[in-house]
Amino acid sequence: MLARTIISVIAILIAIAGNYIYFKDVFSSKTKPHIFTWLIWAAIDFIACAAQFASGAGIAAFVIGANALCAFVIFVLAYRQGEKDLKPLDFLSLLFAMLALIFLVVVKEPLISILLVIAISLLGFIPTVRKSFTKPHEETLIYYVLMGLRASLTLLALEKYVPATFLEPASMAVANFCFVVLLTIRRRQIISTY
């Protein structure tokens, strides 16, 4: 129990550090968050936190709860200073995520709920991935490295390993690290074209 608590605290500190860096980059206009991504992520992180508590994740659920609060603040900042070039794919992602959120409220099966949470989180990633493909320098790379690390540590901190507790942090670790690879490749490609 003590080891899981320490790992959870480290994961929360990593999330705080990552969000601090992201906030700093947003305020300095280096990063332009996509409003739809952060709206979806704030909503789903609050739901995922509640679902993890209900499924017995224990203290590890606080990691997602802290991230939910930070995602909401970034959503507010994105409204003022974020990406304004919205494309049809962005609206489709938002629409499908909101439909899935409505379905999520009705579903009472924890595993189906977590699968919906994962789908919604990945739908939320689409607008940022789309934007970052052409503007990879408008995202904070280290943030996604830290969020992948946070999700990986969350896996280690779980008190109970059942699909309802481990699928969400596992999928977020993979998604964040894949996005880091995409950003790195696109930044190199854009630099090499100059």
Please report the pLDDT score of residue 193 as a whole number.
64
pLDDT digits (tens, 9 = 90+) for 104-121: 878 877 788 788 889 999
Please report the pLDDT score of residue 158 as a whole number.
84
CA proximity to 163, closest of 50, 45, 56: 56
Q: What angle do CA 156, 19, 93 make, to 5 degrees?
A: 85
Residues in the chain with pLDDT values less than 50: none
Q: What angle do CA 47, 120, 99 make, to 5 degrees?
A: 90
Please report the pLDDT score of residue 62 as a whole number.
76
Please report the pLDDT score of residue 30 as a whole number.
93
Please report the pLDDT score of residue 91 as a whole number.
94
Please report the pLDDT score of residue 194 as a whole number.
56
What does the block give as tokens for 175?
């998604």
| Cα 57 to Cα 20: distance, rounded to the nearest angstrom | 26
CA proximity to 147, closest of 121, 126, 165: 121
187-to-34, 37, 151 alpha-carbon distances in Å: 18, 21, 24
Please report the pLDDT score of residue 137 as a whole number.
94
State the SS3 of 117-151: HHHHHHHHHHHHHHHHHHCHHHCCHHHHHHHHHHH
CA proximity to 145, closest of 120, 173, 117: 173
User: Looking at the 3D structure of the chain, how many domains does it have?
Assistant: 1
Residues of the domain holding 146: 2-192
